[in-house]
Amino acid sequence: MNAIQQHMIDSCRAAQRGEAPPPPGRHDWGVVREARDRRRFDAVIAGRPARRRRRTALRALFTRRRHRTARPGVPGRCGNSSPSGV
């Protein structure tokens, strides 16, 4: 059923009840909210984070991770870990 058919059914129902028909698209944002809530619920049930999943994934894709460069004489990092650099 498309939007025009749904509007015609709502108009007929409103005429039978003596009410004004709802304008087309009245409940669109409610449907969007329900879909978002359902997606969050499904994420929680599956054990995934419910919020900011897209933002986190995009940040991971587009941010460059800085690699630590080896500095001579600094223990615990890549490269030569002896203090004298030998």
* Spatial CB neighbours of 44, under 8 Å, sequence gap ≥ 6: 50
Report the phi/psi class of residue 47: left, alpha or beta, with left for phi > 0 and alpha for psi in -120 to 50.
left
User: Which segments in the chain show pLDDT lower than 50?
Assistant: none
Q: Mapped to the 3 state alphabet, what secondary structure does 2-22 carry?
A: CHHHHHHHHHHHHHHHCCCCC
Task: Give the C-alpha separation, 16 to 20, whole Å.
Answer: 10
The reported pLDDT for the residue numbered 38 is 93
The reported pLDDT for the residue numbered 15 is 92
CB 49 within 8 A of CB 43: yes
The reported pLDDT for the residue numbered 28 is 83
Token couple for 49: 């984070």
The reported pLDDT for the residue numbered 27 is 80
Nearest to 50 by CA among 60, 39, 35: 39
